[in-house]
Structure 1
Amino acid sequence: MTEYFTVTRALRAPRELVFEALTKPEHFAVWFGTAAVEVPQDSLTMEVRPGGAFRAVMLLPDGNRIDWAGEYQVVDPPSHLAMTLTDQPGDDTGLPVLFDLEEIGDGTVLTIRQDRSDFTDEQVAATIAGYNAFVDDIEDVLETLQTA
C-alpha cells in the first residue's frame, strides 16, 4: 500500500486560477524555484496532458543544479493533477505527486500528496518544508494574477 505525506493550504483565489498557476510555465518557474532558486523558463517542458513530459532545471545559489523530470498522468482541470516527479532523470521514473483543488467559500484548498517511498523521516520533513515554500510562492503568484 502506498503511503503519502500531505501538505494542505487554503488559498484566496478561485481554483481555475490556482490550476493555472500550477500548469502555466511562466507561473510555474516562479513558484517551483521559490525566491531562493532560479528555474529558467527555457529549461521547462510542461506538456500538461496525460502522458505529457515534464522537465525543469533548478539553479541553486551554491552553483549546483537539479534536473527534474516526470510525466503527467491525470489532468482534470481545475480539480486534479497527478504526475510523477524525480530528480534522477534516466535513473528513476519518479514518485507520484498529486495536486487536488477543492473550492471553498472565497477560495481554494490546495492539497499536495507525494508517495513517501523509501524516504527517511528527515527527507519527508525536508520535502514538506519545500512544498510549503512552493505554496508560499504560489500565493504570491496568485496575488499578482488577481491584481493584474
Structure 2
Amino acid sequence: MPDYFTVVRTLGASKEQVFDVITLPEHFAVWFGTAVVEVPLESLRMEVWPGGQFRAEMKLPEGGAINWAGTYVDVERPSHVSMTLTDQPGSDPGLPVLFDIEEVGGATQLTISQDRSDFSDDQIAATIAGYNAFVDDIEEILQSPAQENA
C-alpha cells in the first residue's frame, strides 16, 4: 500500500482552468520546467487518457538533461489525474503521482500526492520543494491575461 506525501495549494481559478494547465502541453512545458530548467514543447508526449503515455525532456541549466516517462492511470476531467512518473525510463516503471482538483470556498484546491516509496526524508523535502515550484508556476500561468479570459 503506497504511503503518500502531499502538497496542497489553493488557486484562484476554476477547476477546468487548473486541469487544463496541468494537462495541456503548452502549459505543462512551462510549469514542469519552472524558471530554472527548460522543457522543450517538442519533447513532450502527453496522451492524457487512461493507459496513455507521458514523455518529457528536462534540460538542466548546467547542460545535462533528465528524461521523464510515465503512464496515465486515471483521468477524470476536471477533478483528477493519476499517473506514474520516473526519471529512469526503461528501468523503472515509476511512482504514482496524483493530481486532485476540488472547489473549496470559491477557489480551487490542488493537491499533488506522490508515493514516498524508498525516498529519504531529504529526498521527500526536495520533491516537495519542487512541487511547490511547479504550483508557483501553475499559479503564474493561471494569472496570465490569456488564462483569465479562458
TM-score range (shorter-chain normalised) is over 0.9
- The alignment status of 1:67 with 2:58, answered yes or no, reads no
Cα offset, 1:105, TM superposition? 2.8
Q: 1:18-33 counterparts in 2 under 5 A?
A: 18-33=18-33
Report the more deviating stretch, 97-106 or 117-126: 97-106
Across the aligned residues of Structure 1 and Structure 2, the Cα RMSD in angstroms comes to 0.9
What is the aligned partner in structure 2 of residue 10 from structure 1? Answer: 10
**Residue 100 of structure 1 aligns with which residue?**
100
Structure 1: segments with no counterpart, 5+ residues: none
**TM-fit CA distance, 1:104:** 1.9
Q: Calculate the TM-score normalised by the size of structure 1.
A: 0.98
Calculate percent identity across the aligned residue pairs.
67
1:89-111 Cα offsets, whole Å, 9 max, x none, are: 00000000000001123320000
Matches within 5 A, 1:1-148: 1-144=1-144, 145-146=147-148
Question: Which amino acid is 1:146 matched to?
Answer: E
Equivalent pairs counted in the alignment come to 148
Q: Aligned equivalents of 1:41 and 1:2: distance in 2?
A: 32
What letter matches 1:112 in structure 2? Answer: I
**AA at the equivalent of 1:93:** P
Structure 1 counterpart of 2:91, one-letter code: D
Instruction: Give distance in 1, aligned partners of 2:108 and 2:59.
Output: 30
CA-to-partner distance for each residue in 1:98-144, whole Å, 9 max, x for gaps? 00001123320000000000000000000000000000000011111
Q: Which amino acid aligns with 2:105?
A: G
Runs of 4+ aligned residues of structure 1 deviating over 4 Å after TM superposition are none
Alpha-carbon separation, structure 2, partners of 1:106 and 1:13: 9
CA distance in 2, matches of 1:31, 1:147: 19
Give the secondary structure class of the aligned counterpart of 2:123: helix
Please, which runs of 5 or more residues in structure 2 have no aligned partner? none
Counterparts of 1:146 and 1:26, CA distance in 2: 16
